[in-house]
Structure 1
Amino acid sequence: MRTERAWLAIALLTLAPALALAFQNLPQPQRALLAPLAAAWPGLDAPTRQRLQANATHWLSLDDAGRAELRRRAAEWKQLPPAEWARRRGPFAAWQALSLAEREQVRVAAARLAALSPAQQQAVRDAFEKLPPDRRQDWWLGPEIGAGFAQLRPLFAFVPEAERGSLLDLLRALTPQARADLALLARRLPANERESLRRELVAAPPQEREALIRQRLDR
């Protein structure tokens, strides 16, 4: 039983987030399920605690059939080679990075695709596969910045992987016009000035970033 609870506590990391609480304040059923993580709980970051709590709630809400299905899927997952784990985690990570508004846009697009005939669906897939690899990769960034990311890509040259997430969050928070201005500015600046601009934008308060872009563009 203890081994199963430990496995479940880790498996539940893959489900949706909710409010995080101190471990001792969690409802008793959640504390029982997540007991293997009690000692580590204070050191977990807030998003991880949130996912664990929400997913414990999800597990506890399932009936026997639902829990059996989750165990079956987890067992299938464990049988996959590591390369396939990495490939499948990519879409999930991309989905987690989207805002709620972007997720709704993706759902609407998926519904529109599902309403097409099989031949039309295949034509859409074929058109996407014909795009250059970097353009296909851009669309994983979501509808807000994916379409225009080719123009923003110069800003990401030589950016350490650890800093890409914060820069993408910054881009998503800008208005479409500010992103268009930033793309124009990125194409004008030499590499060393693009790096300086990146650092200025990240350091600036969010409400001042659009004015900063406009000031640099007007120089």
Structure 2
Amino acid sequence: MSNTLLRVALLLALPALANAASQPLPLPDRDTAAPAVATPVTAPAIPTTRAALDPAQLQELRRRYAAWQGLPAAERARIRDAAQRMAALPPAQQQALRARFDAQDQRFRDGWLLGPQLGQAFPKLQGLFGYLPAEQREPALAILRQLSLDQLAQLSLVAQRTPPQERDQVRSQFLALAPGARDAWLKQNVGH
């Protein structure tokens, strides 16, 4: 497979791979192992040329590629590892994981384009960070990527407890904080 086609395949599978990266893969017991003959599972065909894509598909690939390029190197490495683990699974298990991911709400799936760490936290951060003005998107993502897992968990609580009419104010306060002031702000706002 050419390098371009490999990239396109990875971009098409990025949300499912990110989801797989955050969850342990269930290993079958020896007693319940799959039969020796597995039913073949066909993946959706990946167009081999740009001309074979309709405009919506091309726009979606560009969006996913931009998301991939925006991820820190460590997050991309986690996704590559997840892709390798997923590729090693039996086809039926791969299909089941994809189906489980595809059954989720679109907003949930789109959150995984932010990478494994933010993708896992995004459903709870959605209310506070899901609908940002364009000028706040990149700075907000940069700040969110700097947060530890504990800080993301605390911010998730703040996001869930913030009434819709106060979200803009709370988000602006948080984004204006110096890195050293975030812990104290989070503790103060989680305590409410």
Same fold (TM over 0.5): yes
Could you tell me how far apart the structure 2 residues matched to 1:80 and 1:115 are?
A: 28
Tell me the equivalent position of 1:194. Answer: 167
Tell me the TM-score normalised to structure 1 length: 0.60
2-side partners of 1:84 and 1:130: how far apart? 20
Aligned residues: 146
Show the 5 A alignment for 1:1-219.
76-77=49-50, 80-156=53-129, 158-219=131-192
Alpha-carbon spacing, 1:199–1:151, altered in 2? closer, same or farther (3 Å): same
Q: What is the CA–CA distance in structure 1 between the aligned matches of 2:103 and 2:164, rounded to whole Å?
A: 30
**CA separation in 1, counterparts of 2:136 and 2:164?**
17
Aligned residues: percent identity?
A: 39
Letter in 2 for 1:151: K
In 2, Cα distance between the equivalents of 1:103 and 1:157?
22
Residues 79 and 122 of structure 1: CA distance in aligned 2, closer, same or farther (over 3 Å): closer
RMSD: 2.2
Secondary structure in 1 matching 2:119: coil
Q: 1:191 to 1:131 in 2, by over 3 A?
A: closer
Q: Aligned AA for 1:176?
A: L
Residues in 2 aligned to 1:197 and 1:123: alpha-carbon distance in whole angstroms: 39
Q: Distance in 2 between matches of 1:158 and 1:146?
A: 15
SS of residue in 2 equivalent to 1:144:
helix
Q: Which amino acid aligns with 1:204?
A: L
Letter in 2 for 1:163: Q
Q: Secondary structure at the match of 1:159?
A: coil
* TM-score where L is the length of structure 2: 0.68
Q: Greater share of helix residues, 1 or 2?
A: 1
Which AA in structure 1 matches 2:55?
P
Runs (4+) of structure 1 exceeding 6 A deviation are none
Amino acid across the alignment from 2:133: P
SS in 1 for 2:89: coil
- Within 2, Cα distance between the matches of 1:157 and 1:93? 18
Unaligned runs of 5+ in 1: 1-74
Higher Cα radius of gyration: 1
Distance 2:127 2:173 in 1: 16
Q: Distance in 2 between matches of 1:80 and 1:187?
A: 39
Change over 3 Å in CA distance of 1:125–1:80 after alignment to 2 = closer
Most deviating of 104-113 and 75-84: 75-84
